[in-house]
Chains A and B, each alone.
Chain A
Amino acid sequence: MTAVPADAGAILAAHPVDAVVIGGSAGAIEALLQLLPHVPADLHVPLLAVLHVPRGRPSPLAAMFGGRCAVPVREAIDKQTIEPGVLLLAPPDCHLMVERDFSVSLSVDAPVHHSRPSIDVLFESAAWAWSGRLLGVLLSGASADGADGLAAIAERGGLAWVQDPDSASSAFMPRAGLKATAAARPFSIASMSSAMAVLSTTARRDA
Chain B
Amino acid sequence: MTRSISSKVDVDLEIDLLLEAIFRRYQHDFRHYARSSIRRRMQRALGHFQIATIAGLTDRILHDEHAFGELMGFLTIGVTELFREPESFVALRRTVVPVLATYPSLKVWVAGCATGEEVYSLVIMFAEMGLLDRSLFYATDIDPASLHTAERGIYELSRAADFSRAYQAAGGSRSLSDYYTAGYGAITFHHELRKKIVFSDHSLATDHVFCEVHLVTCRNVLMYFDRRLQDRAVGLFLEALVRKGFLGLGSRETLLFCSHRDGFDELDRRQRIYQKRSEVAA
Q: A residues within 8 Å of B by Cβ?
A: 77-80, 91, 94, 97-100, 103, 105-110, 121, 124-125, 128, 148, 151-152, 155-156
Kindly identify which residue among B7, B35, B79, B256 contacts A99, using a CB–CB cutoff of 8 Å: B35
Min C-beta distance of B194 to chain A, whole Å: 27
Instruction: Answer whether residue B257 sits at the interface, using C-beta atoms and an 8 A cutoff.
Output: yes
Instruction: Answer whether residue B173 sits at the interface, using C-beta atoms and an 8 A cutoff.
Output: no
Instruction: Answer whether residue B4 sits at the interface, using C-beta atoms and an 8 A cutoff.
Output: yes
Given A100-B12, A109-B37, does the pair A156, B252 have CB atoms closer than 8 Å? no
Instruction: Answer whether residue B224 sits at the interface, using C-beta atoms and an 8 A cutoff.
Output: yes
Instruction: Report whether B37 and A103 are in contact in the complex, using a CB–CB cutoff of 8 Å.
Output: no
Instruction: Report whether A106 and B227 are in contact in the complex, using a CB–CB cutoff of 8 Å.
Output: no
Q: B133: which A residues are within 8 A, CB to CB?
A: none
Smallest CB gap from B84: residue in A: A108
Instruction: Report whether A77 and B35 are in contact in the complex, using a CB–CB cutoff of 8 Å.
Output: no
Top 3 closest pairs, chain A to chain B, by CB: A97-B36, A105-B34, A79-B257
Q: B98: which A residues are within 8 A, CB to CB?
A: none
Instruction: Report whether A110 and B79 are in contact in the complex, using a CB–CB cutoff of 8 Å.
Output: yes
Which residues of B, 221-260, contact A by the 8 Å Cβ criterion?
222-224, 226-227, 230, 250, 252-254, 256-258
25 contacts between A and B (CB under 8 A): A77-B254, A78-B252, A78-B257, A79-B227, A79-B230, A79-B256, A91-B252, A99-B35, A100-B12, A106-B223, A106-B252, A106-B253, A107-B34, A107-B36, A108-B220, A108-B252, A109-B37, A109-B40, A110-B78, A121-B40, A125-B36, A128-B12, A148-B3, A148-B4, A156-B7
Chain B, interface SS category? loop
Instruction: Report whether A128 and B37 are in contact in the complex, using a CB–CB cutoff of 8 Å.
Output: no
Instruction: Report whether A97 and B12 are in contact in the complex, using a CB–CB cutoff of 8 Å.
Output: no
Smallest CB gap from A129: residue in B: B36
Cα–Cα, bound, A155→B223 (Å): 28
Instruction: Answer whether residue B39 sits at the interface, using C-beta atoms and an 8 A cutoff.
Output: yes
Q: B residues within 8 Å of A by Cβ?
A: 3-4, 7, 12, 34-37, 39-41, 78-79, 220, 222-224, 226-227, 230, 250, 252-254, 256-258
Instruction: Report whether B227 and A107 are in contact in the complex, using a CB–CB cutoff of 8 Å.
Output: no
Cα–Cα, bound, A76→B223 (Å): 13
Smallest CB gap from A127: residue in B: B7
Kindly identify which residue among A108, A110, A121, A151 contacts B223, using a CB–CB cutoff of 8 Å: A108
Cα–Cα, bound, A85→B66 (Å): 49
Cα–Cα, bound, A79→B231 (Å): 11
Instruction: Report whether B227 and A103 are in contact in the complex, using a CB–CB cutoff of 8 Å.
Output: yes
Given A107-B224, A109-B37, does the pair A94, B257 have CB atoms closer than 8 Å? no
Min C-beta distance of A90 to chain B, whole Å: 10
Cα–Cα, bound, A97→B39 (Å): 11
Min C-beta distance of B58 to chain A, whole Å: 19
Given A78-B223, A79-B257, does the pair A98, B230 have CB atoms closer than 8 Å? no
Q: B220: which A residues are within 8 A, CB to CB?
A: 108
Given A77-B256, A79-B230, A100-B12, does the pair A107, B35 have CB atoms closer than 8 Å? no
Min C-beta distance of A4 to chain B, whole Å: 28
Cα–Cα, bound, A118→B223 (Å): 17
Cα–Cα, bound, A121→B258 (Å): 25
Q: With A109-B41, A110-B78 given, can you name 20 additional A-B contacts, CB distance below 8 Å? A: A77-B256, A78-B223, A78-B253, A78-B254, A78-B257, A79-B257, A99-B36, A99-B226, A100-B35, A105-B34, A105-B224, A107-B34, A108-B79, A108-B220, A108-B252, A109-B37, A110-B79, A121-B40, A125-B39, A148-B3
Q: A78: which B residues are within 8 A, CB to CB?
A: 222-223, 252-254, 257
Cα–Cα, bound, A97→B37 (Å): 8
Q: A151: which B residues are within 8 A, CB to CB?
A: 4
Smallest CB gap from B36: residue in A: A97
* Among A80, A91, A125, A156, residue most surrounded by chain B Cβ atoms (within 10 Å): A125
Smallest CB gap from B6: residue in A: A155
Cα–Cα, bound, A100→B39 (Å): 12
Cα–Cα, bound, A98→B37 (Å): 10
Min C-beta distance of A118 to chain B, whole Å: 10
Q: B39: which A residues are within 8 A, CB to CB?
A: 125, 128
Q: A97: which B residues are within 8 A, CB to CB?
A: 34, 36-37
Instruction: Report whether B78 and A105 are in contact in the complex, using a CB–CB cutoff of 8 Å.
Output: no
Instruction: Report whether B223 and A107 are in contact in the complex, using a CB–CB cutoff of 8 Å.
Output: yes
Smallest CB gap from A125: residue in B: B36
